Amino acid sequence: MSDAIEGLLEEGRTFPPPPEFAATARVRDSSLQAAADADPEAFWAGQAAELLDWDRPWDRVLDWQPPDAQWFLGGTLNVAHNCVDRHVAAGLGDRVAFLWEGEPGDERAITYAELQDEVSRAANALLALGIERGDRVAIYMGMVPELPIAMLACARIGAAHSVVFGGFTADSLRGRINDAEAKALITCDGAWRRGAVVPLKDIADEALQDAPSVHHCIVLRRTDHGVSMTPGRDHWWHDLVEAQSEHCPPEPMDAEQLLFILYTSGTTAKPKGIMHTTGGYLTQVASTFRNVFDIRPESDVYWCTADCGWVTGHSYIVYGPLANGATSVIYEGTPDHPDKDRFWAIVEKYGVTILYTAPTAIRTFMKWGDEYPQRRDLSSLRLLGSVGEPINPEAWIWYHDVIGHGRTPIVDTWWQTETGAIMISPLPGATPLKPGSATFPLPGVGADVVGDDGEPVGVPGGGYLVLNRPWPSMLRGVWGDPQRFRDTYWSRFEGLYFAGDGAKRDADGYLWLLGRVDDVMLVSGHNISTAEVESALVDHHAVAEAAVVGTTDATTGQAVSAFVILRSGNVASDDLVRELRDHVAKLIGPIAKPKSILFTDDLPKTRSGKIMRRLLRNVAEDESLGDTTTLADPSVVAGIRDRYLASNAGGDDE
């Protein structure tokens, strides 16, 4: 990466753990790290033994035939037992597992004892429909408590779930159902979103028209707006599930039994069905949830704002928190309903202590303005987290100051659908933070930055982020496509997992994620990362969010094209364009100056909120847009294309 940028991201302040936080933190020093470094396998085996209940102990910790890993061979356990039953057995049945709030304002508190009954009934319902160990069950629901209940019911009987985000279209749902050959679908009549009904069952009906593997569809009543039910195939949840017994013994599963398939968010390409198994996955999500979020299950109220349709929801709404016996908030709707302070109202109402959200949300809140969080009492918060994209230093500082009131550490957690659990993150009681850096690999995780030759680049240096050691929650493959597994992740560098992301280490060894290497721009022979130019733009007080891409340029090879969303109260002008270009030149260097800047109200994002730079590149290069099915709102990119062509965006050459 270019040296000129070195200054920008590193000159920022360093934030040591606040003393009052560090005093009681689970991890306060480097002893855990030292133990893991000495013997990573023994470290993970220790976590597995300490954090989980096993029906049968494993014979071997790890079998590693690159790129195929098996963890805890011969061991058996049940995920639902570990997430629910054992807490009830330990006398914690009255502890609240989920504090659920519907978008219209209705609420439910579900204790671990109630969760045990509900999961058991749902599991019996699946058994009654003939679902067996090894079958796949698709789940297409809004964020209602029955969504985690359905996931746990599958885990209880050894069926693998495939959760499909409730914002996907019938085509996307059908594609995922057919790819996994799901035997059953669990859905809702509808979901509440921004005050309106999303007709999930209608969409599911359309998907099921051409999904021959599905014999049964269970429908939860949520919006009660009237749906059609196909006799023989469709069953109301309240008829089928509620009639079942609440006794359903959790069956021991092999540690390598398939727990779920989850399709990646499709930011770069056609989604892949990522496979995760039982023992290793649960070990690492339980361990990382405990250490990264410094959880105190008896007193914390934790809230992860993701949807269960993404891996973040799987690992840090369902499995990690429940394995630790934590109390979590689940919110059904959007952050701007009925007003833009809804998230902060929820923090205030439930006394949320730990909040985990995404940079895209944080930048949206910045755009809306400080008045919304300032209306509410956020003093319960003691720790903040971020996941999904690089968080720009400016957004980090805003999150820290406006939401955390300058008191809370922030854990910037890097991981992927494929990694299953957090891989790179601060430990908030031990790691001094640098805004915008995910800091270091967690204990037991091997991550490095390598150059084109696969050799570590050293400190400081930039290149490709790789994982150089197997980890318990690693993907076990791509469903139905072993070749794609090898080609996508293991072919670039011999013996290394290549994550697709660029990264650099600064002089202190801190890791900075630089976005996807496919997005890196090559301007006059210099590599320039999208993340750094975007950070420089967002650093300007007028800018809420920015996306940059490289476009073909006759003189420089590639030129930087920027798409910018302004913070509320700012107006687009030619002067502002000049100011922003100069700002980037000042922070990074003239080489990184955007050639063109287009102001826009929206950016093309996946349904999980990530910017799809590939599409912006297509717009700037006037190419066909290709596959846009994973876009949240396909009209956004069409609008940008019209404006881009109308503006004749070319900028001036200097």
Q: Which stretch in 82-90, 291-299, 498-506, 644-652 sits in contact with ligand ATP by CB under 6 A?
A: 498-506
Length of the chain: 654
Tell me how far the alpha carbon of residue 277 is from its chain's centroid. Answer: 18
* C-alpha span between 555 and 597 (Å, rounded): 19
Q: Which is nearer to ligand ATP, 126 or 636 (CB)?
A: 636
Q: Which is nearer to ligand ATP, 262 or 346 (CB)?
A: 262
In angstroms, give the least distance from the CB of 530 to ligand ATP.
Answer: 11
Which positions from 430 to 469 touch ligand ATP by CB under 6 A, shown as an x/- string?
Answer: --------x-------------------------------
Residue 426 makes contact with ligand ATP by CB under 6 A: no
Inter-residue contact 227 to 206 (CB < 8 Å): no
Q: How far is CA 344 from CA 125, 204, 276, 347, 378, in A?
A: 38, 33, 34, 5, 7
Q: Which is nearer to ligand ATP, 98 or 415 (CB)?
A: 415
What residues between 522 and 551 interact with ligand ATP by CB under 6 A?
none
Q: Which of 268, 380, 628, 629 binds ligand ATP (CB under 6 A)?
A: 268
Inter-residue contact 94 to 295 (CB < 8 Å): no
Residue 394 makes contact with ligand ATP by CB under 6 A: no
Q: Which stretch in 109-117, 217-225, 409-417, 581-589 sits in contact with ligand ATP by CB under 6 A?
A: 409-417
Residue 610 makes contact with ligand ATP by CB under 6 A: yes
Query: Both tokens of residue 2?
Result: 């270019």
Residue 387 makes contact with ligand ATP by CB under 6 A: yes
What residues between 68 and 87 interact with ligand ATP by CB under 6 A?
none
Residue 632 makes contact with ligand ATP by CB under 6 A: no
Count CA atoms within 13 Å of residue 157 on its CB side. Answer: 27
Residue 265 makes contact with ligand ATP by CB under 6 A: yes
Burial label, 452 (beta-carbon count in 10 A; 0-12, 13-18, 19+): exposed
What residues between 183 and 212 interact with ligand ATP by CB under 6 A?
none
Q: Which is nearer to ligand ATP, 82 or 416 (CB)?
A: 416
Q: How far is CA 189 from CA 140, 176, 246, 313, 412, in A?
A: 10, 20, 24, 21, 36
Q: Which is nearer to ligand ATP, 414 or 563 (CB)?
A: 414
Query: Tell me, what DSSP letter sits at residue 317?
Result: I
Q: Which of 390, 436, 441, 463 binds ligand ATP (CB under 6 A)?
A: 390
* C-alpha span between 194 and 262 (Å, rounded): 26
Residue 172 makes contact with ligand ATP by CB under 6 A: no
Q: How far is CA 322 from CA 95, 248, 386, 464, in A?
A: 11, 19, 20, 34
Query: What is the DSSP code string of 33-95?
Result: HHHHHH-HHHHHHHHHHHH---SB--SEEEEEETTEEEEEET-EE-HHIIIIIHHIIIIITTS
Which positions from 286 to 325 touch ligand ATP by CB under 6 A, shown as an x/- string?
Answer: ------------------------xx--------------
In angstroms, give the least distance from the CB of 261 to ligand ATP.
Answer: 14
In angstroms, give the least distance from the CB of 312 to ligand ATP.
Answer: 8
* C-alpha span between 67 and 105 (Å, rounded): 48
Quick check: helix, strand or coil at residue 333?
Answer: coil
Burial label, 653 (beta-carbon count in 10 A; 0-12, 13-18, 19+): exposed
Q: Which is nearer to ligand ATP, 80 or 147 (CB)?
A: 147
In angstroms, give the least distance from the CB of 501 to ligand ATP.
Answer: 5
Question: Could you list the residues that contact ligand ATP (CB under 6 A)?
Answer: 264-269, 271, 310-311, 387-390, 412-417, 438, 499-501, 513, 516, 608, 610
